[in-house]
Structures are given as C-alpha cells and as structure tokens.
Amino acid sequence: MQAATHETRPIGGQKPGTSGLRKKTKVFMTPHYVENFIQSTFDAIGGASGKTFVIGGDGRYFNEEAIQVILRMAAANGAERCIVGMGGLLSTPAASNLIRVRGADGGLILSASHNPGGIDEDFGIKYNTANGGPAPESVTQAIFERTQSLTEYHIVETQDLDLGTIGHSTLGGMSVEVVHPVADYAALMSFLFDFDAIRQLFASGFTMSFDAMHAITGPYAHEILEAQLGAPAGTVVNGTPSPDFGGGHPDPNPVWAHELMNRMMGQDAPDFGAASDGDGDRNMIVGRGIYVTPSDSLAVLAANAHLAPGYADGLMGVARSMPTSRAADRVAEKLGIPAFETPTGWKFFGNLLDDGQATLCGEESAGTGSDHVREKDGLWAVLLWLNILAVRGQSVADILHDHWATYGRNYYSRHDYEGVNAGAAEAMIDDLRGRLDSLPGTEFGALRVIEADDFSYTDPVDGSVAAHQGIRIVLSQGARIVMRLSGTGTVGATLRVYLEKVEEDPTKFDRDPQEALSDVTDAAEAIAGIRAATGRDAPDVRT
C-alpha cells in the first residue's frame, strides 16, 4: 500500500458557509472535488500528521464513498488514528461527543443537514475542531484560502475498508477504529437526564411520537426512547436512515414535518411529539394540539433545565442567535444570568461554552443545545423536554401557557423566500443597510422604529469580530424585524425575514402567529420592499 501524490488545480467556490461546505451531490462527485477540499482542510490545520480524527455522516447518498476517500487521505497525510461510526454513520452531536471523549484533534462530518439528500440533491462536509464544535471562521477562512492555491493532494491507493463491523484495523500505517454510533452518546444522555423518571412517565401510559424523518436519529431514538426508556415500539416513526431520506426534506418544522403535525393536531394525538433533521442536531417539539416554536422551546428549557440532574446546579448563562426571539432573554433576566446574542450558526457559541459563560444555547431554526457537546443536539432537547414533563406532571400546553403567563408571549415567525435571484436579494440588503440611519422614528401604523443596525458581533472570549451578520430593526411594542441571507443553500439565494412581537395580555395568548404579527410583516414590506426585490407575492415557507 503506497501513498501517492496527485497533482490538482484549485476548484472555485469551496467556501464553507454557515455550517460547512454544501453543494449539490453531483458537484462533490466531480473529479478531485472531495480530495481538494480535504487536502485543503488538512493543510489549513497544520497537517494531519500524528493526529486523531472522528469521521461520520448522516448516511445520505455519497456518505460512504466520501468517508473512504477521507480515510485514505488521512492515512496518506500521516494521521495516527481515525474513529469512524459503524456504517459511516454518526449524528452531528454524537460526532461532537466522540471528538471530546476520545480527545481527538478534530472531526469530519458528512452532511448537508436539513437539506434533502440523493444524487440530485445536496451533500456537505464540515470540519470540527478539538473542542467538538464547528470550526470557527478563522479556520474555515484558512481552509477556503488553501483551496485557492492547492496544487497536490496525498492519498493511499487501496481498496475500501469494511465499515460495517465494529473493531480495529489499519490503513497504510494509520489505525482505524469502527465504533457503535449510538453507545457513547446514549451513555452521555443517561448521565444528564433522569432516565428512571422518564421510564416511569412512559410506564404510566404517556404517549409520544418521534419522527426521525428517515434520517440519522432513527437508530439513536430506537435505542434511547424505545429500548432504554421503555417507550412502546412504534413510538419512533420513519426510523431507518435512507440515502435520500425517503425522498423527503429532513427539516423538522411544521411545513416539512406535516405528517407529525397532523398527528399531533388530530383526534387521537399522543401527549408529545418531536422530530429531528438529517444529521440529528435539530429538534421540533409539539404537544397535543400545540406547536412549540424553537424560540419558545429555548426559553422554556432555560426556565426548567434545573429539573434535570445534569443542570441541577443552574445555568451559567443563555445564548441565542441574533434572529432567535428574545423570549430566552426574559428568562435569563429573571434568573439573574447573562444572555448572549450571537450571529447565526453554532460555531459562534463555541467560545462561550468552552469558557463556561453560557450553559444553554439555541437558534430559531430548531437548534438547541448545551455545554454537554459543542453542536446543537436534537435528541438532547427532546430528552430534556421529557425530563421536564416527567417532573412537572403537566401537559406541554399547560407548561407553555404557564411560561407565557410569567414572561409574556413573544409571537414569532420566520418567512423564507427560497431560490431567489442572488443579486437582487443582495442589492435589497445593501440598499437597506444604506438607509438604516434614517429609519429610527419612522412609523408604520402603530409601530415605531426605535433603532436599526447591521449586526456585528465581537466575541467576548477571543475578541474576534463578525460583521454584516444581518439587519436588525427594533420597533415599539416589543416588535423586531431581522433580515439576512441564508448561508446553507445550494441554489440562488434564500432571504430570511424574522418577525417578532411581544404580547403581555393573557387573553391574547392563543392567536394565530401570522395574524398576531401581521402589522410587523407589513412594516417589513414597507421598509425593505421584499416583494419587488424577490418578485414574490408571499414567502415559500413560513415557520
């Protein structure tokens, strides 16, 4: 077995976005595409020599092919060891955990997360650092720069390794360990949560439906919810990962997880419903007859986390991404702990978690997590909810109404305009950026603009600055509009418009969010001219 050096030329566009490099699968399948990106990654982190990496993906089309290439390249670049999930499978949070418990130098996660999979859909590669979290911008920028000057890559010429059996083998001097994808993760969960209490909850007849959306959380949910916690067989649906996610869109929100939504709003709805995404880091929470927005979920979890053993000592702080509703801030204020506002993307939480400044983090896009790993974690959020439900003995609806009665309700919605013309969308944001100073004082119906800015974040730990992270417009009545362009798409641009408004009157807690937010939506249109810029009458997706 010999390591060969191949000549190559830079490939344009290998720039990691909000969460790794995402492209159409066929783009990743073009000659040298994976090789160039992996070599650039190794070069950007000072080489792979002597290092240990964790490797796994969400099982989508091209997962195992990419892993075989990465293994051969890691060996040729002198890595000491690779730890791979059996079958090439690892959820994103489980990969993060493995990096940490094994003291690995980093990890490579193969996924395009909530994007559909298949030969005609999306694929992705993400590099995580030794803390288990997504590489910070300094690293992703170095990787991108390297892709632009790369002239060669190193690879061992050999046949594919068997990833289907747990155990040890070697590849060109590098040791390869195939591990069970669920074991370490399940152990961590049982340490954080009161499994006995949750077991009793299920034994008492509590019912649940968990939709794995044909993606990676199937094996995790079968093992933890059904085998270990005693939920009846059939609690987990769509639990076998498939390379194209059953032809679906593995994005747990009311639009893409409509099957689960219908079940939860129907006659014989179970007590509790949940879903996760392609790579297992997102979560959707639904009670019987009631949907919990991710922003509300973060706030409820922050207010109740102390009920779970892993968080019994309370929280150091709560962090949310900028577009996430400010419901969590209200909880932090009451708890007397700091609240942080970061740019979109989990990489921005890493320093706060490492430094012990934040314990819980969340994003409006259905991502919630804590300092137990350095990624958002779908099943973790579901288990924390279950722990809270077991201790409080109340329904999801009661817990949510209690929460609003204490803190007020932050009505919230995100409007996505997908696949719009990138130039027009950027021009709209640029134009708005140029007019921000003139907005304060302007009135839209009963709403008045209080302040408007282009969000810039200075990391409190390392002082790094991330500028131009989205437009924030704060209005009266606790209202806010945020606009930014997505960094995870693979076709055209996606404009995201985030709308929020606070309601303090308990008689108005049960309104339809779109209706409750209609004046904020109108103000966003009047301020930005969304219809004209996108050529659309309405958003493609409202969550």
Instruction: Find the catalytic residue in 113, 242, 295, 321.
Output: 113
Q: Look at residue 419 and give the partner it binds from Co ion, ligand VG1, none, a contact being a CB closer than 5 to 8 Å depending on partner kind.
A: none
- Cβ-contact 368, 376 below 8 angstroms: yes
Q: Look at residue 18 and give the partner it binds from ligand VG1, Co ion, none, a contact being a CB closer than 5 to 8 Å depending on partner kind.
A: ligand VG1
Nearer to ligand VG1, 106 or 367 (CB): 367
The DSSP element (H or E) to which 394 belongs, if any, is none
Q: Is 297 a catalytic residue?
A: no
DSSP sequence for 100-157? HHTT-SEEEEE--TTS--STTSEEEEEEEETTSSBPPHHHHHHHHHHHTT--EEEEE-
Which residues are paired to 465 by β-bridges?
A: 458
Residue nearest to ligand VG1 (CB): 113
Q: At its nearest, how many Å lie between Co ion and the CB of residue 452? A: 31
- Beta carbons within 10 angstroms of residue 530's beta carbon: 22
Nearer to ligand VG1, 252 or 513 (CB): 252
Q: Look at residue 487 and give the partner it binds from Co ion, ligand VG1, none, a contact being a CB closer than 5 to 8 Å depending on partner kind.
A: ligand VG1
Nearer to Co ion, 113 or 543 (CB): 113
Q: How many angstroms separate the CA atoms of 80 and 242, rounded? A: 32
Q: At its nearest, how many Å lie between ligand VG1 and the CB of residue 484? A: 7
The DSSP element (H or E) to which 120 belongs, if any, is none
Q: At its nearest, how many Å lie between ligand VG1 and the CB of residue 352? A: 15
Q: At its nearest, how many Å lie between Co ion and the CB of residue 282? A: 5
The C-alpha torsion from 395 through 399 and 401 to 404, rounded to 10°, is -170
Q: How many angstroms separate the CA atoms of 454 and 434, rounded? A: 10
Residue 35 tokens, joined = 């090789």
Q: At its nearest, how many Å lie between Co ion and the CB of residue 463? A: 29
State how beta strands 367-370 and 318-321 pair: unpaired
Interface residues toward ligand VG1, by CB under 6 A: 18-19, 113-114, 277, 281-282, 321, 344-346, 363, 365, 367, 486-488, 496
Nearer to Co ion, 375 or 519 (CB): 375
- Beta carbons within 10 angstroms of residue 387's beta carbon: 24
Interface residues toward Co ion, by CB under 5 A: 113, 277, 279, 281-282
Q: At its nearest, how many Å lie between ligand VG1 and the CB of residue 437? A: 26
* Residue entry with tokens 């996108």: 534
Q: How many angstroms separate the CA atoms of 266 and 292, rounded? A: 16
Largest CA distance in the chain: 73
Q: Look at residue 387 and give the partner it binds from Co ion, ligand VG1, none, a contact being a CB closer than 5 to 8 Å depending on partner kind.
A: none
Residue nearest to Co ion (CB): 113
Q: Look at residue 309 and give the partner it binds from ligand VG1, Co ion, none, a contact being a CB closer than 5 to 8 Å depending on partner kind.
A: none
Nearer to ligand VG1, 223 or 363 (CB): 363
Nearer to ligand VG1, 25 or 344 (CB): 344
Residue 47 tokens, joined = 């080489």
- C-alpha pair distances (Å), 224 with each of 217, 273, 282, 494: 10, 15, 17, 36
Q: How many angstroms separate the CA atoms of 308 and 167, rounded? A: 35
Kindly list the catalytic residues.
113
